[in-house]
Structure 1
Amino acid sequence: MYQYTDFDRQFVQLRAQQFRDQLERWQRGELTDEQLLPLRLQNGWYIQRYAPMARIAVPYGEISSAQLRMLARIARDHDKPAPELLAHAQATQDELQAAQPGLTLAAAPLKYGYGHFTTRTNVQFNWIPITQAADVMDLLASVHMHGIQTSGNDIRNITCEAYEGIAQDEIVDTRPFAEIARQWSSLHPEFTFLPRKFKIAFNGSEEDRAATGWYDIGVQARRADDGAVGFTVKVGGGMGRTPVIGSVVREFLPWDQLLNYIEAVIRVYNGYGRRDNKWKARIKILVKAEGQKFIDAVEAEYKAIVEQDGAPHTITQAELNRVTANFVVPELKAANLPSTVKTEGQMYQRWLRQNVRGHRQPHLRAVTLSFKRVGFAPGDADADTLDALARLADQFSAGEARLTHEQNLMLPWVFESDLPALYEAARVLGLAQPNIGLISDMIVCPGGDFCSLANARSLPIAAALTELFQDIDEVTDLGPIDLHMSGCINSCGHHHSGHIGILGVDKDGKEWYQVTLGGSDGTHLSGPAIGGKVVGPSFSAAEVPDVVEAVLTTYRDLRTSAAEHFIDTLRRVGHEPFKQAANAARHDPGHRASRAAAEAAA
């Protein structure tokens, strides 16, 4: 993983000191809440429904065991609400639950003392008092972590797909380019107050595992016929109220011109993006409205940067070499720990198929630990689990791990001979569920349990669906299915790109849920990035599990064989049979109970 330089460390520490000074001035009344707002946002501090929320950047998802231990310490020592605050929040949630009964699983007590892995490889804490924010920033800086530009109208944490540098289908490792872009964009004076937030993703492999079509700028690595490295650049992707797939603005951009071209794109956006309406301020709206005119404006700006300004941000070979050298392959050594796992056992073999991937180094494997557990929200890790993850990383992966787009954690340097011992250790922690890529491996945002923007809660629905899909035989038989859920139109749960998408909406002050089908994030399995289509009117919370099960029953009935994936059946037969099944489930609230009784009788 990237080895921070002395300058990097000093930069993060000074930023933490600066924020402490700002926070102390606010506490003394020298800064108003309005004046503090952009300062705290650019350091990752929100004020959410009940308490502050801290968002911590994990660039390109790479995280060390030391950083995991620090996150565990922060979770244990600082993610603690005042008792009266927690009591108020719990009473509010209980009131919501009582007003809309019917879910098989009642809302669980609100938890604290944990971190939450997001789809953009950030880690969030939901209960840290704002008065402790500076102390937490200092702790993070001590392990080279921060929350810089994880919020606000600036260039956010830059992401890569999780298998960069180790993927068997890799074209080029884009982490050095992402790091160069991160350094260039951090506190960039021209792009500190953009019309809206701005997100960039890199993908260096044949398969697009970074969902680049859904980003403001998506960068896909390419090699020309002569072997030259470059990038296809997409601009204007995004979810939210208006889902849009990014448009290709450059089929092949030479790698050394990456920053000059990104600057041209963001300059055009900064100059012409709307600031009068936050819902129409994202670059996707500008690209959709202007089409070719936008591309022409970017090309003109790029030409001016190159010809008139002298291409000031051209990446030299020396600079690429310097940054690449900081991505050090760790000293690898097998753990050689004993194991009692029966390697021929069905669960272990399933885990190998679903959670273990090949590696560029033939004796190594990349192993994903599943954070989709009963009793936990998707992506949640309490302090004890974070400490345990640090131990697993040290024992099996040279002290390194990676957060994934799907809210899981991957160990990138596991010896094949250590797989049985790792499986045994992960199983004890409840992290060996063999469900990666299957329906229970769902993406879910925190929703109305925590977020002040949410229209509805997503966590109780996720809990009910997790309970529903505990039969691993059934989950395996269903095959690859992406289920994504958001608590509001801002789409933090990426519901638009789910094969099955669930969106929380507000109707007459009550929580309802809209279901979409046929979305894709752009991977080979799912096909090109595309937004799902709504299958009918909104459903109540209690109806959602029945609707999902009805859709899946329809899939089983219509697929040509178990080898035909859900998304392929849907595209072959069209949405109508699934739409009819979903709407019929509204009138059959006992569907799941009937099924359970039938299974019990059998």
Structure 2
Amino acid sequence: MYKYDEYDQAIVDARVGEFRDQVNRRISGEMSEDQFKPLRLMNGLYLQLHAYMLRVAVPYGTMDARQMHMLATIARKYDKGYGHFTTRQNIQYNWIKLDQAPDILAELATVEMHAIQTSGNCIRNISSDQFAGAAADEVEDPRPWAELLRQWSTFHPEFSYLPRKFKIAVIGAEEDRAAVKLHDIGLQLYRNDAGEVGFRLFAGGGMGRTPMIAPVIREWLPKGDLLSYVESCLRVYNRYGRRDNMYKARIKILVHEIGAAEYARQVEEEWAHVKTLGLDPPASEFERIAGYFAPPAYDADLPDTVDRTDPDFTLWIDQNVSAHKQPGYAVVTISLKPAEGIPGDASADQIDLMADLADKYGHDELRVTHAQNIVLPHVRKRDLHTIWQALEGAGLATPNLDLISDIIACPGLDYCSLANARSIPLAQKIAGRFADLDRQRDVGELKLKISGCINACGHHHAGHIGILGVDRKGEENYQLSFGGSAAEDTSLAKIIGPGFNEDGVVDAVEKAVETYRGLRTEGERFLDTYRRVGLAPFKEAIYG
């Protein structure tokens, strides 16, 4: 995994010093809240309903045990003993005191972490596939390219004040585990007919109040041209993106209004100039970065089978353990979705335990997932039972990956000043309604996602079942949508009809699930059945 050099460390340390001075001036009254707001947002510090919230960057979701232990320390020392892992592969702390925020950033800096570009109209944390470097189906590890983009985008002078925030995702497999078509720019490494590996580039995707699926802007981009081409994409957006209306400021609006073909033409025209500027690094620099992402020293001749005599362990293996490219190894997903728990939350003790397991059994590496879980990407199969026992004792062994209780949910009205409705209690009620794991497994893959407002931090547009909380005459109301997907078969969910109160939407979800069970054919997921039969039978069951 990437390690800071002297430039990285100097940048982060300088930012800590600057922010400490800014906080002191705010506390003394020398600076007003209006003056302070843009400065704190540059450091990932939001003012929420009850307290400040700090969002910490986890580039492409990758951490080592030392960094994970620091996250536990911060939760224990500065918060209420827990952290919240997000759909951007970051972590948030919801109960931060302003005068302690610089101390948190200083402690993060000691383990090569920061909160830079986790807010504001800039290029945000570069995200990637949580199985990167371990997945059996990838053509190439995308994380060195994500790191290259991180270095290029950090404090980029032209792109620090974009029309709106900008999100980039990079994957290296056919299976899309990072929702690349729902990003401002999505990059997919693939092998062409000539056997060369390069990028397919999507631009203009996103969720929020105007959800859109990104079109292909360039079908084939040589790897060596990545930075200059992405720079050209940003330049065109920065030049023409709307700055008069924040609701129409994202690149998706620009691409939609002028058309994908015209946007691509302008990017190509810009690129003809940009690629002469020497922006793309020499091969030796990329090789230097890629060296940090070399595979761990795998053990040879490991047993490639697992003892399945324990039925509970076998259930966890079948649901939460995925194939690894190295014989004798597996990828473990740790569920942060216990029965009726808060999706994405982990206590300081749980965070410490996951760090210990990574250190002892996982080649010192962890990943945050887009679904608010944690991954140990490199685990010997012979260690799986020991890991499971440790997780079971800590409430982290729920075998529900991709099942209906593996719910994505934003913090909602319990914390967020932008929210219209609560997400967490609703997620807990739905998980409780489907607490029977045998029932969940019979239903099979069903991705349910909840947002507490139109900003869609819970990715409800991409849920097989999506739920959006809205304010209806001062009451919380929940709109139900079907048919979304953030995978390679990307689609946007459609609202099925009038909304419900909290209990009503739980009942509606159950009716939808039971309708699916009655209509499905062999091997069909909920999404497949919905796409085959359409909305009518579901609507009839729900509304009568």
TM over 0.5: yes
**Contact 1:222/1:252 (<8 A) preserved:** no
Q: What secondary structure sits across from 2:402 in the alignment? A: coil
Which of 268, 271, 283 lines up with 2:251 in the alignment?
283
Paired with 2:507 and 2:414, the residues of 1 have a C-alpha distance of 22
- Residue deviations 1:405-453 (CA, integer Å, cap 9, x gap): 1100010111011111111111111111111111111111111100100
Which of 367, 380, 384 lines up with 1:415 in the alignment?
380
Give runs of aligned pairs for residues 360-439 of structure 1, distance below 5 A: 360-374=325-339, 376-439=341-404
- The residue that corresponds to 1:21 in the other structure is 21
**Contact 2:339/2:405 (<8 A) preserved:** no
- The residue that corresponds to 1:452 in the other structure is 417
**Contact 2:208/2:456 (<8 A) preserved:** yes
Paired with 1:444 and 1:328, the residues of 2 have a C-alpha distance of 34
Paired with 1:175 and 1:265, the residues of 2 have a C-alpha distance of 21
Q: What secondary structure sits across from 1:165 in the alignment? A: coil
Structure 1's unaligned 5+ residue stretches are 80-111, 585-602
CA distance 1:27–1:465, change in 2 (3 Å): same
**Contact 1:444/1:485 (<8 A) preserved:** yes
- The residue that corresponds to 1:232 in the other structure is 200
- Residue deviations 1:213-267 (CA, integer Å, cap 9, x gap): 0000000112223332210100000000011000110000111111111111111
Q: What secondary structure sits across from 2:158 in the alignment? A: helix
- The residue that corresponds to 1:468 in the other structure is 433
- The residue that corresponds to 1:321 in the other structure is 287
Paired with 1:583 and 1:369, the residues of 2 have a C-alpha distance of 37
Paired with 2:272 and 2:541, the residues of 1 have a C-alpha distance of 54
Q: What secondary structure sits across from 1:506 in the alignment? A: strand
- The residue that corresponds to 2:10 in the other structure is 10
Q: What secondary structure sits across from 1:230 in the alignment? A: strand
Q: What secondary structure sits across from 1:126 in the alignment? A: strand
Q: What secondary structure sits across from 1:365 in the alignment? A: strand
Q: What secondary structure sits across from 1:147 in the alignment? A: coil
Q: What secondary structure sits across from 2:360 in the alignment? A: helix
Q: What secondary structure sits across from 1:191 in the alignment? A: coil
**Contact 2:365/2:376 (<8 A) preserved:** yes
- The residue that corresponds to 2:180 in the other structure is 212
Q: What secondary structure sits across from 2:484 in the alignment? A: coil
Which of 526, 530, 537 lines up with 1:570 in the alignment?
530
Deviating beyond 6 angstroms after TM superposition, the runs of 4 or more aligned structure 1 residues are: none
- The residue that corresponds to 1:589 in the other structure is none
Of residues 392-401 and 456-465 in structure 1, the stretch that sits farther from structure 2 once superposed is 392-401
State the Cα distance separating 1:368 from its structure 2 match: 0.5
**Contact 1:57/1:147 (<8 A) preserved:** yes
> Does residue 247 in structure 1 map to residue 212 in structure 2?
no
State the Cα distance separating 1:36 from its structure 2 match: 1.8
- Matched residue type, 1:548: V
Give runs of aligned pairs for residues 131-150 of structure 1, distance below 5 A: 131-150=99-118
Paired with 2:376 and 2:164, the residues of 1 have a C-alpha distance of 34
Give runs of aligned pairs for residues 166-205 of structure 1, distance below 5 A: 166-205=134-173
> Does residue 304 in structure 1 map to residue 273 in structure 2?
yes
**Contact 1:3/1:328 (<8 A) preserved:** no
Structure 2's unaligned 5+ residue stretches are none
- The residue that corresponds to 2:509 in the other structure is 548
Paired with 1:34 and 1:331, the residues of 2 have a C-alpha distance of 51
- The residue that corresponds to 1:596 in the other structure is none
- Matched residue type, 2:348: A
Paired with 2:281 and 2:226, the residues of 1 have a C-alpha distance of 8
State the Cα distance separating 1:26 from its structure 2 match: 2.4
State the Cα distance separating 1:376 from its structure 2 match: 2.8
Q: What secondary structure sits across from 1:151 in the alignment? A: coil
- The residue that corresponds to 1:264 in the other structure is 232
- Matched residue type, 1:76: R
- Matched residue type, 1:72: A
Paired with 1:132 and 1:328, the residues of 2 have a C-alpha distance of 37
**Contact 1:230/1:254 (<8 A) preserved:** yes
Paired with 1:296 and 1:78, the residues of 2 have a C-alpha distance of 50
Paired with 2:267 and 2:243, the residues of 1 have a C-alpha distance of 19
Paired with 2:194 and 2:35, the residues of 1 have a C-alpha distance of 53
**Contact 1:4/1:326 (<8 A) preserved:** no
Paired with 2:341 and 2:98, the residues of 1 have a C-alpha distance of 25
- Matched residue type, 1:141: A
> Does residue 581 in structure 1 map to residue 537 in structure 2?
no
State the Cα distance separating 1:328 from its structure 2 match: 4.4
Give runs of aligned pairs for residues 60-139 of structure 1, distance below 5 A: 60-79=60-79, 112-139=80-107
**Contact 2:16/2:106 (<8 A) preserved:** yes
State the Cα distance separating 1:16 from its structure 2 match: 1.2
State the Cα distance separating 1:43 from its structure 2 match: 1.1
- Residue deviations 1:270-323 (CA, integer Å, cap 9, x gap): 1111111111111111111110322221111111212xxx24211321111010
Paired with 2:352 and 2:23, the residues of 1 have a C-alpha distance of 30
State the Cα distance separating 1:32 from its structure 2 match: 2.6
Give the RMSD, CA atoms, in angstroms: 1.6
Which of 321, 325, 330 lines up with 1:356 in the alignment?
321
Paired with 1:427 and 1:155, the residues of 2 have a C-alpha distance of 38
- Matched residue type, 1:431: L
State the Cα distance separating 1:46 from its structure 2 match: 0.6
- Matched residue type, 2:516: Y
Paired with 2:52 and 2:511, the residues of 1 have a C-alpha distance of 39
**Contact 2:407/2:449 (<8 A) preserved:** yes
Q: What secondary structure sits across from 1:538 in the alignment? A: coil
TM-score, length-scaled by structure 2: 0.96
**Contact 1:517/1:532 (<8 A) preserved:** yes
- Matched residue type, 2:414: D
**Contact 2:52/2:97 (<8 A) preserved:** yes
- Matched residue type, 2:513: L
Q: What secondary structure sits across from 1:481 in the alignment? A: coil
> Does residue 55 in structure 1 map to residue 55 in structure 2?
yes
State the Cα distance separating 1:45 from its structure 2 match: 0.5
> Does residue 502 in structure 1 map to residue 467 in structure 2?
yes
**Contact 1:333/1:398 (<8 A) preserved:** no
**Contact 1:52/1:128 (<8 A) preserved:** yes
Paired with 1:488 and 1:136, the residues of 2 have a C-alpha distance of 29
Of residues 194-203 and 34-43 in structure 1, the stretch that sits farther from structure 2 once superposed is 34-43
Q: What secondary structure sits across from 2:95 in the alignment? A: coil
Percent identical pairs in the alignment equals 51
**Contact 1:356/1:365 (<8 A) preserved:** yes
State the Cα distance separating 1:330 from its structure 2 match: 4.0
Give the aligned length: 539
Q: What secondary structure sits across from 1:276 in the alignment? A: coil
State the Cα distance separating 1:11 from its structure 2 match: 2.0
Paired with 2:105 and 2:341, the residues of 1 have a C-alpha distance of 26
Paired with 2:524 and 2:264, the residues of 1 have a C-alpha distance of 39
Which of 468, 479, 498 lines up with 1:514 in the alignment?
479
TM-score, length-scaled by structure 1: 0.87
Q: What secondary structure sits across from 1:54 in the alignment? A: strand
- Residue deviations 1:141-176 (CA, integer Å, cap 9, x gap): 011110000000000000011111111111111111
Paired with 2:152 and 2:501, the residues of 1 have a C-alpha distance of 47
Paired with 2:223 and 2:156, the residues of 1 have a C-alpha distance of 21
**Contact 1:535/1:582 (<8 A) preserved:** no
CA distance 1:141–1:333, change in 2 (3 Å): farther
